[in-house]
Amino acid sequence: MKLIKDFKAFILKGNVLDLAVAVIIAGAFKAVITSFVKDVLMPPIGLLLGGVDFKELKVVLQAGSEAVMNGNQVVTPAIKEVAISYGVFINTIIDFIIIGFAIFMIIKAYEKSKKKEEEAPAAPPAPSKEEVLLSEIRDILKEKK
Residue by residue, pLDDT tens for the chain (145 residues) are: 788 888 777 777 767 777 788 888 888 888 888 888 888 888 888 888 888 787 888 898 888 888 788 788 877 788 888 899 898 898 888 888 888 888 888 889 888 888 877 776 667 788 888 888 888 888 888 888 7
CATH number of 2-122: 1.20.1250.20, 1.10.1200.120, 2.60.120.10, 1.10.357.10? 1.10.1200.120
pTM: 0.55
Domain residues of the chain, as ranges?
A: 2-122
DSSP string, the chain: -HHHHHHHHHHTSHHHHHHHHHHHHHHHHHHHHHHIIIIIIHHHHHHHTTS--GGG--EEEE--BPPEEETTEEEE--B--EEE-HHHHHHHHHHHHHHHHHHHHHHHHHHHHHHHHHHSPPPPPPPPHHHHHHHHHHHHHHHH-
